[in-house]
Structure 1
Amino acid sequence: MSEAFDCAKCSESLYGRKYIQTDSGPYCVPCYDNTFANTCAECQQLIGHDSRELFYEDRHFHEGCFRCCRCQRSLADEPFTCQDSELLCNDCYCSAFSSQCSACGETVMPGSRKLEYGGQTWHEHCFLCSGCEQPLGSRSFVPDKDAHYCVPCYENKFAPRCARCSKTLTQGGVTYRDQPWHRECLVCTGCQTPLAGQQFTSRDDDPYCVTCFGELFAPKCSSCKRPITGGTGLGGGKYVSFEDRHWHHSCFSCARCSTSLVGQGFVPDGDQVLCQGCSQAGP
């Protein structure tokens, strides 16, 4: 009489049947699967002993069930990502959770270096100055409509330029004849004294300090020989003109008695002027 050879679970004879040997004894295939097989996390069916089983984060899958939850592509031999317990192939993950580079139109992969500004995203190497086309990286930049400029390029392109040296004005500056000037560039044409904040005038569009303008261009008083600046609007001083000669009000007096002739009748006597009394008195 033959020795008993039965399933350790259901006790049915295993003679002539397929079985699986374990440390606790032999099992018929149905009992082995019911006792030891894992349940697929996707289809909730047992993963039989003859099926290829995949394991990820305490979850078990049939090979055919281990697929992207969106496109259903098999992930058995593909890189994948788990998002909120859902398995996603890289393409679907990038499409759903990655942004698109505003410059090249390609996907900005999760974890890659990127720059974000104004609701847009760029690869770090795609975020370039619209002027010099160099990467802006972490440098300061100035947005202008759809363009972005590094500070030097923006200043070179948009900042006002000094009327004298033609270099850009980035701060400070003064306006003369509706044009911008560096404060240090607005100087007297004669003596090079800075004119910013000072009273000055111009001749042929060239600026001059009061002193240089008087010395160079103002008429000279026929008495004291000093410049008369009243007529230039540089001090409000009054003067008297007669023929081609000029006098300060304070200098327009009789050459003999020194009486002021301002508003009075006078008589020219060669290079001098005399009051009527001195003129009538004779030499």
Structure 2
Amino acid sequence: MASRCAFCEKHFVNGDKKSKYNDLEYHQKCFQCSTCHRQITQSFYNLGNNEYRCSDCQTKSSDVVTCTQCSQPITEESYIEYKDEPIHADCFTCHSCSEPLGTMLYVEHENQPYCISCHMSQFAQSCAVCGRAFPPGISTRRYENQYFHIECFRCFNCGKIILSKNYTVNSEQQRLCDQCS
């Protein structure tokens, strides 16, 4: 039994030219733009409900969603929204190294997105003891405008990590836990 066109529902006969999209077959003449009714032969947009639009009509359409970075139409089903604005995944890049961020974790600094690596190397605080930068979201200790990893904030005498807020600092600016002070 011959298959049917998904648009006109007529059977295909020998010699009919077919177009195929999403596992559906169409007579080539039936696969047309729902706006200008020209046959679709190249790129097109799926409007749903078995309606399609050629790229020329889509570009002219007022309901076209465009990328806020490159101003080109967004044709993918998935795109990124940054600050409630649509952006192509490839256009959403690190402000420093220009690598696409896509759905990767990023950090915002002065209203600009940065990959974790660039943010850490350029802006992150670093530990006063070991010098390593703090990744976003990590817990730190602070003493007199200096930052410390929790595991680096230790008693000068016994070497134990000081977890409580109860510690003293001697005249040589060395931290001492409750037991050693």
Range of TM-score over shorter length: 0.5 to 0.7
- Cα distance change on mapping 1:146 and 1:95 into 2, 3 Å: farther
Is the 1:80–1:89 Cα contact (8 Å) retained in structure 2? yes
What SS does the corresponding residue of 1:135 show, helix, strand or coil?
A: coil
CA shift at 1:110, angstroms? Answer: 3.3
Checking the alignment, whether the CA contact within 8 Å between 1:8 and 1:24 is kept in structure 2 is: no
Normalising by structure 1, what TM-score?
Answer: 0.44
> Where does structure 1 lack aligned partners over 5 or more consecutive residues?
155-283
Displacement, 1:149? 2.0
1:14: which partner in 2? 38
The structure carrying a bigger helix percent of its residues is: 1
TM-aligned CA deviation for residue 28 of structure 1:
1.7
Following TM superposition, by how much is the alpha carbon of 1:8 offset from its aligned partner in structure 2, in angstroms?
A: 4.3
Deviations 1:253-272 (A, max 9, x none): xxxxxxxxxxxxxxxxxxxx
Q: In 2, Cα distance between the equivalents of 1:143 and 1:7?
A: 80
Residue type matched to 1:60 in 2?
Answer: P
Q: 2:67 aligns with which of 40, 50, 56?
A: 40
Shift of 1:127: 0.6
Identity over aligned pairs, percent: 23
Q: Secondary structure at the match of 1:55?
A: strand
Amino acid at match of 1:14: R
- Paired residue for 1:105? 131
What is the aligned residue count?
Answer: 149
Q: What is the deviation of 1:24?
A: 9.1
1:65 aligns with 2:65: no
Q: How does 1:109-120 map to 2 (within 5 A)?
A: 109-120=135-146
**Letter in structure 1 aligned against 2:84:** D
Which residue does 1:142 correspond to in 2? 169
C-alpha distance after superposition, 1:35-80 (max 9, x if no partner): 243221222x223426973333422222221111112122125221
Q: Return the offset for 1:21.
A: 5.0
Map of 1:88 onto structure 2: 114
**8 A Cα contact 1:142 1:151, kept in partner:** no
Gapped regions of structure 2 (runs ≥ 5)? 1-28
Indicate the structure whose relative CO is greater, using CA pairs within 8 Å and at least 6 residues apart: 2
3-state secondary structure, aligned to 2:169? strand
